[in-house]
């Protein structure tokens, strides 16, 4: 039987590092090197390997991922595996998920332990990602699954997956929803399909608007006794320092410190500002608490409600909306179904 054709696109990251003369790990390996290190790949798929960049994912940008999505759209393969660093996998995978609507698997994978360490996870993660991309259930449900992240034999939805530890090998989790599938022996065991209605609705708003200009989005993390002065400074600065939108990592169900409220109002008046849970995801309140910086007042004062999205994912969605030229009211409509 013909094996599925899987196109591997290598961006860099720990999975692609090798030691320099000082022993420091440098991102230098390309897609061919990654494939050569996993001979078993050839028994699973027809592999095509392409090096897109050799950078740490902390240095990737929206333009690069938009270009990557355009490249993926043009590929004839049966499935696509992107390798990159773990630092921004939770963001880039969600951006790809918003930009792509393919009926074939698109999977992002990476490594926590570099190739010079005992038990590096890169080769195993790459093999697992290719196995998932080739799996009949995954291929049949590719559109419903959206972009996936495969790490340590678990499959996660891009909208939900988070990097929950800076160094541990098991650094990824979907804390709100759990994994979509697990790999056991050489089998993919399906466990759930993600609820994607909000993403499908967002994509309708975004359809047709392509190749817009970058729209930088600032994140303001609320914390005990925060003054809100940085928000005020950005709101009053010329051209808002280039920021076109903002995300507030809000406390609890959607609150900010009362002393920060002047800054909150100023930034929300200046640029579209989304409230997202600093708890890391999960629906926000809408109508429980009163008081000047409660969710009821913030919502009355033009703050856009981010719903269940983690602030980093809300930032990806807001940048994508603003890059597409959506109005403030359209942005509000995009975020509303996220809860
Ligand atoms: N900061 C680098 C990156 O994200 C290395 C971390 C990693 O790959 O795990 O590419």
> Which among 86, 112, 126, 149 is the best mutation to test ligand 1's pocket, defined by most ligand atoms within 8 Å of the CB?
86
Both 21 and 161 in one domain: the answer is yes
Q: Residue 19 sits in a domain of what CATH number?
A: 3.40.50.1170
Nearest atom (ligand 1) to Cα of 89: 4
Q: Average pLDDT, stretch 204-223?
A: 89
Is the same domain home to 223 and 315?
yes
Structure tokens at 149: 């992240």
CATH code at position 248: 3.40.50.40
Please say which residue of 161, 195, 229 terminates a domain: 195
User: Which range marks the domain in which residue 317 is found?
Assistant: 204-338
* Confidence band of 230 (pLDDT split at 50, 70, 90): very high
> Of 147, 176, 195, which closes a domain?
195
Among the three residues 141, 166, 195, which one is the final residue of a domain in this structure? 195
* β-sheet bridge partners, residue 35: none
Averaged confidence pLDDT in the chain: 97
Q: What is the DSSP string of 195-231?
A: --HHHHHHHHHHTT--S-----EEEEE--TT---HHH
Same domain, 243 and 104: no
Ligand 1-lining residues (CB < 6 angstroms): 12-14, 56-58, 85-87, 110, 112
User: 155 near 180, Cβ under 8 Å?
Assistant: yes
Ligand 1: distance of its center to the CA of 44 in Å? 27
- pTM equals 0.97
For 90-136, write each residue's pLDDT tens digit. 999 999 999 999 999 999 999 999 999 999 999 999 999 999 999 99
In contact, 230 and 264? CB cutoff 8 Å:
no
Quickly state the pLDDT bin for 40 (edges 50, 70, 90). Answer: very high
Token representation of residue 151: 């790490």
């Amino acid at each position: 039987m013909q094996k599925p054709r899987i196109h591997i696109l290598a961006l860099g990251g720990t999975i692609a590092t090798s030691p320099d003369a000082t022993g420091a790990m440098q991102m230098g390996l390309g897609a061919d090197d990654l494939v050569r290190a996993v001979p078993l790949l050839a028994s699973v798929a027809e592999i095509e390997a392409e090096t897109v960049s050799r950078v740490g994912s902390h240095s990737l940008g929206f333009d690069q991922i938009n270009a990557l999505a355009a490249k993926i759209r043009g590929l004839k393969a049966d499935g696509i595996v992107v390798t990159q660093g773990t630092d921004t996998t939770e963001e880039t995978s969600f951006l790809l998920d918003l930009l792509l609507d393919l009926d074939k698997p698109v999977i992002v994978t990476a490594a926590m332990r570099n190739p010079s360490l005992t038990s590096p996870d890169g080769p195993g993660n790459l093999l697992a990602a290719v196995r998932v991309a080739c799996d009949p259930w995954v291929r049949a449900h590719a559109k419903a699954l959206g972009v996936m992240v495969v790490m340590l034999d678990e499959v996660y939805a891009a909208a939900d997956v988070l990097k929950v530890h800076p160094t541990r090998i098991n650094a990824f989790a979907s804390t709100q929803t759990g994994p979509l599938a697990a790999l056991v022996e050489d089998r993919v065991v399906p466990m759930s399909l993600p609820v994607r209605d909000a993403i499908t609705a967002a994509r309708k708003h975004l359809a047709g608007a392509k190749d817009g200009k970058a729209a930088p989005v600032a994140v303001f993390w609320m914390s005990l006794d925060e003054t809100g002065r940085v928000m005020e400074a950005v709101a009053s600065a010329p051209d808002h320092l280039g920021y076109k939108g903002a995300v507030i990592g809000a406390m609890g169900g959607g609150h900010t410190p009362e002393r920060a409220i002047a800054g909150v109002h100023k930034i929300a008046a200046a640029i579209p500002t989304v409230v997202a849970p600093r708890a890391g995801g999960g629906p926000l309140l809408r109508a429980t608490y009163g008081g000047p910086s409660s969710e009821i007042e913030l919502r009355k004062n033009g703050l856009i409600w981010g719903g269940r999205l983690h602030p980093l994912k809300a930032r990806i969605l807001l940048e994508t909306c603003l890059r597409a030229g959506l109005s403030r009211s359209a942005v509000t409509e995009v975020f509303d179904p996220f809860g």
